[in-house]
Every structure is written in C-alpha cells, then in structure tokens.
Amino acid sequence: MLVVDAQIHLWGADTPERPWPPGAAARAQKPYPVGKDMALAGMKEAGVDRAVIVPPSWEGERNDLALEAARLHPDRFAVMGRFPLEKPESRGLVDGWRKQPGMLGMRFTFHNEHYRHFLTDGTADVGIEVTARLPAAGGCDRAGKAVVRLDGALRMGPR
C-alpha cells in the first residue's frame, strides 16, 4: 500500500539572508530548520512513501525549499504552494503556476479576519486546485460559496 502524508512543512532558518516576517518565529513548529533530508529520514522511519509539502506560513509566501525538494525527489515530494492573495500582481502567477516542476496547486489560509473575505469577494476565484485552511466557526458556509465559484476546484472532503 502506498502511504502519502498530505501535509508536511519544510523551512529554512530565519536569517538576514532569508528573513521571516516579523513575529513569525513564535509560530514555528520547531526552533531549528527542517529540510528535505530530515523529512526523508522521518518518512523512512514512519513508512511514508510520498509527501505533499505545504510551505509554512511562518516563512512568509515562499516556495523555494519545497520546489527544490520536489525537483530533487519527484517520486517522493510534490508541493501545494503559497502566494500572497492580497497583492494584485499575484494574479499574474496563476496561469503558469502548475507549470513549475512539482507544483500541484495552491495553499491558502483563511483562519483570520484579514484573509477571510477572500472566500466571498472573488479574490480566491483562481480556477485551479486549491487547499484552504478554514476557520472553525462559519468556515463551512464560506467554503461552500468558494467551491461553487471555483467550479469544483476546491475539494472539500472525499471525492
């Protein structure tokens, strides 16, 4: 049986050359970087064949480490990438998004008020596979609207 972990995080250190957003270090799951080699070792130990990498929010809107892991190990990793929905110039990324080697789709978080409106104001209408983290309270109502607008691209529950 093929075992796939549907969400893992990889991240680099918060350094002047690779800065995280202010205050983001407090959200990191571990106080040290977790790279592809550490992930591969953990996958081997746990009996996991493949994993979908979702870049963590504490690093900001970057996909470089995830895409590098997928490029080097295409039989083990794929990516649900991030980009800032709030920036109009991000729309230009959509057409070529899945042409990036290893990129499966997009991952957004709507768990705070700052981003929640994207589900209902048309901002999230991108038309490709999307993974969304929804707020616990009222998330299903908003997700239902997003599913309709995205023509079924936002998958909720089993297919």
pLDDT of residue 4: 93
pLDDT of residue 91: 77
pLDDT of residue 90: 79
**Domain edges within the chain:** 4-106, 110-159
Q: What is the pTM of this model?
A: 0.75
Spell out a b/e string for 87-116, using b for 16 or more CB atoms within 10 Å of the CB, else e.
eeeeeeeeeebeeeebbbbbbbbbeeeebb
Q: What is the mean pLDDT of each run of 10 residues along the chain (159 residues)?
A: 94 95 91 96 96 92 95 96 81 85 83 64 57 50 41 35
pLDDT of residue 119: 62
pLDDT of residue 158: 33
pLDDT of residue 85: 75
User: What DSSP letter does each residue of the chain carry, written as one string?
Assistant: ---EEEEE--B---BTTBPPPTTGGGG-SSSS-B-HHHHHHHHHHHT--EEEE---GGG-S--HHHHHHHHH-TTTEEEEE---TTSGGGHHHHTTGGGSTTEEEEEEE--SHHHHGGGTSSTT---S-EEEE--TTTHHHHHHHHHHHTTT-B--S--
Domain 4-106 classification at class level: alpha beta
